[in-house]
Amino acid sequence: MRRSPVRWVAPVLLATAIPLATATPAAAEPEQTPVQRYVALGDSYAAGPLVPIPTGEPAGCLRSNQNYPSVVAQELGAGDFRDASCSGATTENVIGPQSVPLGKNPPQLDALARDTQLVTISIGGNDIGFGDIITECATRSPLQPTGSACKDHYTAGGTDQLAQQIDEAAPKVARVLAAIEERSPDARVLLVGYPVILPDEGPGCFPVVPFSPGDVDYLRGVEKALNAMLADRAAAAGVGFVDTYTPSIGHDVCQLPGTKWVEGLVPTAPAAPVHPNALGMKEIGGMVVDALADEPSRAAA
């Protein structure tokens, strides 16, 4: 579906046929200031690893010039755009430095200034061990294609380790949002959730994506719980949350090229495994721009 462009200046109200002498001037709606100073923070779901074309320093952050922050910057015409996102980043790497191949990414917060107008951030997945979860499940699940070996591993002993890790990540996300508020008190801040990875319903697509139906059901629940935690933290901090999961249903890793927005373990388009491709990044960028229409600036609040 084609999006209508966001208009930053309210339309002028047309005069009616009321005689000029008795007409009451219509109250003009307040104008919204176009975004010029935009900073993007976050992990690989913001950076866009292996989506052409790599850009920025250090090279090990694997930022793409087609990642969703670049899409947002282009659509908004942001003149001062700073992309500090970095693949593999945790909440600690937003606040502190991150060592990557070929260099070190400075604390992502260093890109912020008091006059920053817009901040987007995707964070939290690596705090719960996203990469390890994918590796662990891709190894265990095929051994029990009619069972739930991955779920059994993470829930052994009666404790759901991933649910616990989501709970433990919540105050870390809150700390990051508070730090953004301190650095850029007048900025619009949008915490961007994670898009659908596995199908929102059904058994998945084993063996193309080697997760058994039982593990697909478990892992989709983990992602929904992570997004719910992020939405809660955003609400508590008074910042916006962009739900990318719901609009991306039907564009999961099991779909055909051209429909999928997130690649599988064996990508069919240039992107890191189990990460958004260029189409997914374009769509997420559009969701962020659309969300801005309903997200007032703090300066005007």
Cβ(276)–Cβ(45) under 8 Å?
A: yes
Distance CA 277, CA 66 (A): 9
Cβ(215)–Cβ(139) under 8 Å?
A: no
Using DSSP, state whether 118 is helix, strand or coil: strand
CA 180 to each of CA 89, 127, 154, 173, 252: distance values in angstroms, whole numbers, following the listed order: 16, 18, 33, 11, 31
153 is catalytic: no
Q: Given 44, 70, 87, 141, which residue is catalytic?
A: 44
Question: How many of the other CB atoms lie within 10 Å of CB of 92?
Answer: 15
Q: Given 70, 85, 212, 275, which residue is catalytic?
A: 275
Question: How many of the other CB atoms lie within 10 Å of CB of 186?
Answer: 14
Distance CA 301, CA 297 (A): 6
248 is catalytic: no
Which positions are catalytic? Answer: 44, 275
